[in-house]
Every structure is written in C-alpha cells, then in structure tokens.
Structure 1
Amino acid sequence: MMAHGTMKAKAKTTAPSRIPQTTTQTATQWLIQPTLPPTNNNPDLRPFFSHMSASITQTFSQRRPWFELIDRSTFSRPDTFKEAVARVRKNLTYFRVNYTAIIVLVAAFSLLSHPFILFFLACLLWAWLFLYVFRTPDQPVNMFDRTFTDRETLGILIILTILIIFLTELGALMISSVVVGFGITCVHGAFRVPQEVFVDDQEPMNIGILSYITATAASGVVAATPTLQRV
C-alpha cells in the first residue's frame, strides 16, 4: 500500500515532458516567409531604345516637305553677302530638321565608305554602353584576372576613346563630314529665297546634332538604368 501511494505521489509531482518546438517554429517561419522575386542585375535596354526611337520619330515628323528644298522656282542668286547671310539664317530656322538629316546622311555615308573606322566606332560604342552606361555600380568589371572599380573603368574608356579618335582618324572623318554637310546646307540656304510665311513660322534655331543625340541618350539612360549614384 505504501509503495502504491508513493508511486501515485511521484506521478502527480512529475511534470509532463515538453516536445522541442525548434523544428516546428523553423518550418512555420519558412512557410509564412514571403518569397521575394529574384533580382535581375542585367539592365533592360528596351526603354532606352524605345525612348530614343520615339524622340527621333517626333523630331523627324517636324520636317518640311522635301519638294520645298528642290523647288527650282525658289532659287535665285543673292545680290549681296548680307542678303545671303539673311537667307541662310531664315532657311536654317525653317529647314533645320531637313538640314540635320542631310548632315547625318553625309556623316553616315562617310563612315560607310570607311569600314575599318566604322568597325572601331561600333566597338567603342559597345564598350561605353555595356561597360559603363548600362552597367549598375554594384557590378564590378572583371577582366584579365582583375577587378576594376567604377573610376578605373571610366578612365580606361576615356583613354580608349581618345586613342581610337586620333589613331584611326575617326575625329578627322567626323569633323570633315559635319563641315561638308553644313557647307551644303549653307549653300542651299543662300540660294533658296525664303518666303514671307517663314517669318511667322520661325522658332529658336536648334540644329546641334551632338546636343540632340546627347539629350536623347541621357533621357533614355535615365529611363533604362536604376537610380544609383556612381562613386
């Protein structure tokens, strides 16, 4: 009897054993933890090219009819140099998009006639786009068993650009193409008689090809790359 009472007392005083909850809590946390989408460090180039295409299309839509440039009834020799300058200024304002297209065509024809220089220009543009413009700062450049920082990459690209421009005569070719194209537009503008309707349709002249391309590319880069500040 006493042994039976002692066993009952021990049974009452003994606390029930607890099951460890570590595995259960870990499994529960893993199940309820939200799954984040994988980060994609590769830049999407579609916004850049889409914005550039839309900008070029919008600008080219403001061109004047091409038959107005070649209308023989509107050509005459200017009497004085002052009159020729006045004609050029008015025609540059009115036909600025058409003249810009002519200069671009002259530059493109010059590049196509020099495939060696065109190849180096394409390689240079590729290096700038994929090694600096579209590359996020958290992606280092690994080449030749070495990691290059953002500043080093920019410095190498600048030096490479200068070498290609001067060693391959790319700079001289582009400058000569722009000068020839601008000369063609000035000769046309000097002999083209501007009509009075041009005066009411004048706008601030903006025929800078490089400024237009730079603004378009910068806007496209802002739309295509994440807003991360470079060191």
Structure 2
Amino acid sequence: MAQTPPPLPISNPQTLPPTTTTTTLATPALQAFASRLTETVRQGFAQRRPWSELLDRSAFTRPDSLSEAASRLRKNSSYFRVNYLSLIASVLALSLLTNPISLLVLLALLAAWLFLYLFRPSDSPLVLFGRTFSDRETLGVLIVSTIVVVFLTSVGSILVSALMIGLAVVAAHGAFRTPEDLFLDDQEPAAAGLLSFLGGAASSAVATAAPAVAARV
C-alpha cells in the first residue's frame, strides 16, 4: 500500500515583516523630492550670468548717494540673483566645512526630518528604544531638537555669521557695480529679485513634500 506524501508547508503571508512595505512606500516619495529639487537647482543655475561680467572691474564706481546705491543694489540683485545666491551658499558651505562638527549635526538633523517624519509612511509608527511615538510626538521632538541645535549651540552662530558675511559681500558688490543699460529695460518686473529663485526652489520642494505632510494631518 502506497504511503501518502507528507503535506507541504504553507507559508502565511501575514507573517511577512512590515518593514518591506515601509521601504517601498518611503523610497518613491524621497526619490521624487530629490529629483525635483535637483532639477530646480539645475534650471536655476542655467540662468546665472557669466562670472566675468560679475567681476568686471571697469564697471565698479562709487555711488553718489545712498539712494543711488540702493537703486544699483535693486537692479543688480535682479540681474545677478543666481550668482548672488551662489556666493551666499558658497560662504555658508565654507563656514560649515571649516566646522565639521556643526556640519554633521545639521546633516543629522536634516536626515531626522526626512526619514522620521516627512517621508515616513503615516501608517507605520515610529518605534525607538522599545517605545512607540505618535506623529504628534515625533513632530514635537523634531521641533524641539531644531530649536536646540539652531539657537542653543554654535551651529546657529555659525549660520548667522556666514549669512551676514555673504549678504555684506552681495550688498557691497550691488552698490558699487554700475548697472549697464543693456539689461535695464527687461529686468524691471516687480516679481524679480534676489529671492525669486530661492522662492521657486522652496515652493518646488514644499509641493513635493506636501502630500507626505498632509497625510499626517
């Protein structure tokens, strides 16, 4: 008499670890954020003016009054806005590179915001040291950590000092460089200015991260 073969083991799909769905849900949102931010920065740098035009020594003259200096700064900031933002970003980067501890702290804070709140699936609770944190508790911890890092450590003073130096360099260049008549007619729209490119990049990043934040509200 033939013996019946032993039954094959049946796997239970409910026993799969929940982390597999977490990574698949978080990765596309993070990739979309990175790609959109990279594309925005690339398009912004495509609008920069030649650096030789920025550093043309023959175009520097002393302004006759404060009103003329302010007018020059307004026109030059509209024309060289991408170059000016690059200068300010370079000063900030140089200040952070000379203070590697502050740079590591800022990178850790940014990574905490991205992976623990913005692009973490809302249906996946955060578990640290055996304790489960809700979205409101996670947001509160991140806000308090940001305030402590920016205002109660040397990171805030480094950022403020670098920003003030960068703005001083931009203001001095904009006030002493004579605007040329070649670009004054087409560079006067009210929306143009030093912060227009920065506002476009920020709005693009917010638009990408908005669905992840809205899912937690």
- TM-score using structure 2 length: 0.81
Q: CA deviation at 1:229?
A: 2.1
Aligned pair in 2 of structure 1 residues 228, 136: CA closer, same or farther (>3 Å)?
A: farther
Among 171, 180, 194, the alignment partner of 1:207 is 194
1:184 is matched with which residue? 169
Equivalent position to 1:76, from 41, 56, 61: 61
Give the aligned residue type for 1:137. S
Q: CA contact under 8 A between 1:48 and 1:220: conserved in structure 2?
A: yes
Q: Distance in 2 between matches of 1:207 and 1:139?
A: 41
Q: Does 1:43 align with 2:27?
A: yes
Provide closer, same or farther for how the CA distance between residues 226 and 155 of structure 1 changes in structure 2, counting only shifts above 3 A: closer
CA–CA separation in structure 2 for the residues paired with 1:155 and 1:211: 26
Compared with structure 1, are the counterparts of its residues 210 and 161 closer, same or farther at alpha carbon in structure 2 (3 Å cutoff)?
A: farther
Partner of 1:29: none
Question: Which amino acid in the other structure matches residue 97 of structure 1?
Answer: V
Shift of 1:51: 0.7
Residue identity in the other structure for 2:216: R
1:221 and 2:209 aligned: yes
Q: In structure 1, what is the Cα distance between the partners aligned to 2:116 and 2:199? A: 23
Change (3 A) 1:71 1:227: closer
What residue in structure 1 maps to residue 151 of structure 2? 166
| Unaligned ranges ≥5, structure 1 | 1-37
Range that drifts further, 203-212 or 185-194:
203-212
**Cα 1:76–1:206, aligned 2, differ >3 Å: closer, same or farther?**
closer
1:85–1:190 Cα contact (<8 Å) kept: yes
Q: Secondary structure at the match of 1:41?
A: helix
What SS does the aligned partner of 2:123 have? coil
Aligned with 1:42: secondary structure? helix
Task: Give the AA of the match of 2:215.
Answer: Q
1:79 Cα deviation from its structure 2 partner: 1.7
CA distance 1:146–1:183, change in 2 (3 Å) = same
Q: Contact (CA 8 Å) 1:84, 1:190: kept in 2 or not?
A: yes
Paired-residue identity, %: 45
Q: 1:41 to 1:108 in 2, by over 3 A?
A: same
Q: Provide the rounded CA distance (Å) in 2 between the counterparts of 1:226 and 1:97.
A: 30
The 1:55–1:78 alpha-carbon spacing in structure 2 relative to 1, beyond 3 Å, is same
CA distance, structure 2, for counterparts of residue 170 and residue 211 of structure 1: 24
CA contact (8 A) 2:119 2:212 kept: no
Q: Deviations over 1:29-87 (max 9, x none)?
A: xxxxxxxxx95333322221111111000011111111111111111111222211111
Counterpart Cα distance in 2 of 1:73 and 1:114:
37
Of the three residues 61, 75, 81, the one matched with 1:90 is 75
Q: Structure 1 length as normaliser, TM-score?
A: 0.76
2:216 counterpart residue number: 230
Cα deviation per residue 1:93-125 (whole Å; 9 max; x = unaligned)? Answer: 111111011001011111111111111101100
Say whether residues 1:152 and 2:152 are aligned partners. no
**Residue 106 of structure 2 aligns to a residue in which SS?**
helix
Rounded to whole Å, the distance in 1 between the matches of 2:153 and 2:25 is: 34
Say which is worse superposed, 80-89 or 204-213, in terms of deviation: 204-213
Distance 2:186 2:84 in 1: 17
Q: Is there any run of 5+ residues in structure 2 with no aligned partner, and where?
A: 1-19
Alpha-carbon separation, structure 2, partners of 1:41 and 1:138: 10
